[in-house]
Structure 1
């Protein structure tokens, strides 16, 4: 605080106060004067003087004014500290939310394009929708293997920061820990750099050359500062965020096929892809609703076990390849990890054996061994997550999801579901939203849209037949809902 007279040689108090406000705006100023001139008072107030005191000064009045100035400063400091704490908490929460969104996208959870756009904007993720992006899977080398879990998390955080610093030269990036045991970086070219090379005839070569240069620099800096090496798998460029799940599965498959690769390597998927005479056909059972993730999420254990058995029955009756086994392995580990993480646990803590292919490559070479592990993992997850669910919210959610998945016809609505679980519709909607983060009405619509997607892809049913099967009376309304969810109407989706 500065207490100053107005009349002084060289510079008067008002000039002094004006200069203080310019240089040190946090300082409180009080003016003393023997002149009760209103013009002085007006200018002092305009300069935001804390107080304006006339001489002769009353001591008690002066001390009271100083005390008020001190209290004012304390209030400012407390407000600033509260703001800093809030900002730190927001940044921490933002990291968790970004990671959760990344996991949902790479594990293939169905989101409407509008919802994804809102999330990207809300979380301030710098990669633009529909932008061409590339995914980099990062495996830490053996130099990091001796770290305990907290230390390893710190190393992963440092690796992410180094990636952000290196790649941000010409790229927007989004990075986090992947659902599987690696780090994940999604990157797109910044508009200025993309425009500078976009018209070049060798655009793709220039883009790859720059990406490789940054990847090598990334490895070098990690080695220099963290004393360890990395193995990188770089996917093909893809439309963001629509093809993230496909890019992730492709990158993860290459990691596994190469045994994780030795640290110090950079593997490009476009270099490893081989021409194939006929396209590989997926096993329909893997993707047929209700999916394994949905069955685990709603704790329908017997149905989940039946789903697993159906998948392996299909394997036995088909001429499967090694890639088919990878496909089954990835879908099942995705489901197990998703449900474990949703319950606040790490899947490898429930059973580590199937989540480290560096120790047991036979898991993805033998369908019998893979089936044995999947069934065992399902039993362990059920044992870990199913204790005492009766009369709890989790049990109610489980009932609701079973009812919805069992019938998507005309009678399926929030009210009919509420009647069946003996709760008021408003209360049921409230607890469902609180437990899952999704409204019950949106969940019913999402299940209908996923079922519609499957029927359009896998059957020859007419649009009006699908409309009726899903409980919609008006095909136009069904088409409107489908387009809102997926960006295309049913006929356009079927024709593409």
Structure 2
């Protein structure tokens, strides 16, 4: 909304204008009045004045001088002049001071309102242009964040393109680190406090940690930070290679790193682990350094808020392999799953994660566990025709939730959840397959109740062992397959006795029985009478 200031040493003039003009219709929110230029300047300092309407002739300072000061201090304010003197010099001076209009007293309300409306429209157009420009700048800056992130990934993964291209992008994306700088890479791993947060919260924490790094490693260093491709933060600190050699001293970097860790703890209430690379030439040697610090970071225990230079990271101890050796001790997880020993698989996983929790596993070990367990799950799912992605599309892809590599608890929860889903899917899959087999068996029996129909002949047709087929049929229907075949024959016998004139021996032969006396015995067992008695009743 618009705010207007009226200035005249004759107060009845400003009071009259304030009372007679329909300000609300013009979109004016507030009207202020001043009896002198000094009072007007005080109001300008306190309020957001959009339009200044001032008389020219005033005792301590004339209106032209007032406009000159206002234009200098508040250049976006529109200025209108009122005077009873139609002097060309005044008008010429007003134009030089970029006054919007020059109106004579006594004031014509319509002329004043037209001039005021022009000012308001001009202001709104200017505000709209400013909004569009600010939105464009905001969008550009947002795009730059994405572009900077993509460029960082390309450089870390060793796909920089030409030096000229990289230099152009660094400059265009407003990255402070420069080509051929002497640089140091920090791999930063978030501690336990951050792992329980959702993805959006973790992203905000990572952004805040990067900003803290920029504050701590300020001049003479240049800083560029972003999310690395392998679930840690990458912070590049660079300086002029021909500058003060003290900036490259390990003691100085270590002190700043400790300060960095403390600031993160103070402001974000969580710990971070840091691995520093050696000094290198940016970006030519960046990818190699990234691989080295990443390998070093993977050897750190998850709960350590350590700060180490790459050469200080301990080598993997032979004893570390024992933590995950239970994965490979028979019966393996694949063998347990393949044989349907779900409880045994659950016990094996439980023992494995108990060992990892008690020994403070490294990311390297957690990654090995993930690969082994996920491969076992995928192998069983593919072998048995189970759609594991339908069961849990997110759960089979570590890249969707890479924080599992930071927490034994999260990896354990994932492993147990996926085991439960796999077990459920296999049960459903087997249940569907069994129903399909039962339907197929019943169709075969009903289509042919002759002498060749038996449990063995049906089992041969569905490619199953007769004993296994009988077991499935009994478990799914509550009736043995042999009893079902006999029941179907008896029901067909009843129909033929009622609806045909066929002899008993003819019916006996058609139903696959060789002996009419045996057929009569079976029929009497079902219906309490012989076939002849049933037909005669």
TM-score class, shorter-chain normalisation, is 0.5 to 0.7
Report if aligned partners of 1:140, 1:263 keep a CA contact under 8 Å in 2: no
Q: Larger Cα Rg: Structure 1 or Structure 2? A: 2
349 and 172 in structure 1: CA distance in 2 versus 1, 3 angstrom threshold? farther
> Distance between the aligned counterparts of 2:406 and 2:66, measured in 1?
72
Q: Does 1:250 align with 2:300?
A: no
| 1:117-151 per-position Cα deviation (integer Å, ceiling 9, x unaligned) | 11111111111211110100000000111111111
Q: How does 1:200-279 map to 2 (within 5 A)?
A: 203=246, 207-259=249-301, 262-272=303-313
**2:225 equivalent to 1:175:** yes
Among candidates 387, 392, 397, match of residue 351 of structure 1: 397
Which SS does the other structure have where 1:105 is aligned?
helix
The Cα of 1:27 is off from its aligned counterpart by 1.9
Q: CA deviation at 1:36?
A: 2.2
Aligned residue in 2 for 1:444: none
Query: 1:19 matched to which residue of 2?
Result: 69
Aligned to 1:41: 91
Q: Which runs of 5+ in 2 are unaligned?
A: 1-50, 316-363, 372-392, 409-537
1:211-239 per-position Cα deviation (integer Å, ceiling 9, x unaligned) = 11111111000000111000001001111
Within 5 Å, give how 1:160-199 maps onto structure 2: 160-189=210-239, 195=243, 197-198=244-245
Q: Which has the higher contact order (CA 8 A, sep 6+)?
A: 1
Taking the aligned partners of 1:241 and 1:207, their CA distance within structure 2 comes to: 20
Distance 2:130 2:293 in 1: 45
Q: CA deviation at 1:160?
A: 1.1
Partner SS for 1:228: coil
Cα 1:143/1:36, change in 2 over 3 Å: same
Measure the CA separation in 2 of the matches of 1:349 and 1:153.
20
Which residue, 163, 185, 191 being the options, matches 1:141? 191
Q: 1:114 to 1:169 in 2, by over 3 A?
A: closer
SS in 1 for 2:76: coil
TM-score by length of 2: 0.49
Q: State the partner residue of 1:3.
A: 53
Residue 111 of structure 2 is aligned to residue 61 of structure 1: yes
Provide the C-alpha distance between the structure 2 equivalents of 1:92 and 1:122, rounded to a whole number of angstroms: 14
1:356-413 CA distances to partner (integer Å, 9 max, x unpaired)? 55568xxxxxxxxxxxxxxxxxxxxxxxxxxxxxxxxxxxxxxxxxxxxxxxxxxxxx
In structure 2, distance between residues paired with 1:240 and 1:263: 29
- After superposing on structure 2, the runs of 4+ consecutive aligned residues of structure 1 that deviate more than 4 Å are 347-350, 353-360
Indicate the larger mover: 92-101 or 351-360: 351-360
1:110–1:74 distance in 2 versus 1, CA, 3 Å: closer
Deviation at 1:272, TM superposition (A): 4.4
1:110: Cα distance to partner?
Answer: 5.0
Q: Is 2:188–2:232's contact at 8 Å kept on the other side of the alignment?
A: yes
Does structure 2 retain, via aligned residues, the 8 Å contact 1:259–1:357?
Answer: no
Determine the structure 1 residue equivalent to 2:123. 73
- Structure 1 residues 255-308: Cα deviation after superposition (integer angstroms, max 9, x where no partner): 113345x4321110133499xxxxxxxxxxxxxxxxxxxxxxxxxxxxxxxxxx
Measured at CA, do residues 109 and 64 of structure 1 come closer, stay the same or move farther in structure 2, by a change above 3 Å? Answer: same
Q: Is the 8 A contact 1:166 1:214 kept in 2?
A: yes
TM-score, length of structure 1 as denominator length: 0.53
Instruction: Report the secondary structure of 2:249's partner residue.
Output: helix
